Amino acid sequence: MRQGVRLGVDVGSVRVGVARSDPSGLLATPVETVRRGRGDVERIAAIVAEHEVIEVVVGLPTSLSGRESHAAGAAREFAAVLADRLAPIPIRLFDERLTTVTAQQRLRSSGVKAKNQRSVIDQAAAVELLQAALESERATGRPPGSSLEPPGGSGGGKASGGAG
C-alpha cells in the first residue's frame, strides 16, 4: 500500500462531498461539503494543499449494469478541470456504484434522521467512495480505478488504465 493522504471527491450537481484518508491509506474520514459553482475547484485545491494529498479519487457514477449515466459525464468533466488545476497530483476515476445509497443506510442506522442527512450525505458518500478505493488498492496492490491525465497532457483528459 502506498503511503500518503488521498482525497475522495463525490461530485453532485449541487454539492461536492470531500473525504480524506489517513497517511497510511487505511481509513477514510469526512472533510467537508463544497457547494458546486464558482470557487469549488479552488476550495478543493486548498484542501489538497492543506492535507498534502498525493492523489485525488473522483467518483464515477455508473448504473448497476456498468453503463455510465449523464452524471458520469459531469463527473468526468469536473475531474478533468481538477486534473488541470492540481497537476501534477494524479486524479483517478473510481466506480462509485451505490456509494450514496450505502452512505444513506449507514447514516440512518446510526440514528441520523432523513431530514438531517442532506448536510452530511455528500461527505458520507465521499467516505464510502474513498474507503472502497483504498480497499481496492489493498486487495490488488494497484492504484484504484483509472488514471485521468490533465487536459493539456498526453491523455487529452481521457481516462486510461484498468477499472477498479
More confident position, 152 or 137: 137
Residue 131 in domain: yes
What is the Cα–Cα distance from 141 to 90, expressed in whole angstroms?
A: 17
- 28-60 pLDDT per residue, tens: 999 999 999 999 999 999 999 999 999 999 999
pLDDT at residue 152 tops 80: no
Q: Which segment of 24-28, 48-52, 105-109 scores lowest on mean pLDDT?
A: 105-109
Indicate if the alpha-carbon torsion angle 61, 53, 102, 163 is positive or negative: positive
Residue 160 in domain: no
Work out the pLDDT band at 95, boundaries 50, 70, 90: confident
Residue 163 in domain: no
Residue of 86, 103, 122 lying closest to 11 (CA atoms) = 122
Residue 139 in domain: yes
Question: What pLDDT, on a 0 to 100 scale, did the predictor assign at position 116?
Answer: 61
Question: What pLDDT, on a 0 to 100 scale, did the predictor assign at position 154?
Answer: 43
Question: What's the domain count of the chain?
Answer: 1
Residue 37 in domain: yes
Residue 158 in domain: no
Residue 144 in domain: yes
pLDDT at residue 153 tops 60: no
- Name the region of 73 (left: φ>0; alpha: ψ -120 to 50; beta: rest): alpha
What is the Cα–Cα distance from 139 to 146, expressed in whole angstroms?
A: 16
pLDDT at residue 161 tops 60: no
Query: What CATH number does the domain containing 27 carry?
Result: 3.30.420.140
Q: Cell numbers for 93, please give them.
A: 476515476
User: Hey, which residues does 15 pair with through a beta bridge?
Assistant: 35
Q: Domain containing 109: what range?
A: 5-151
Q: How many CA atoms lie within 13 A of 95 on its CB side?
A: 14
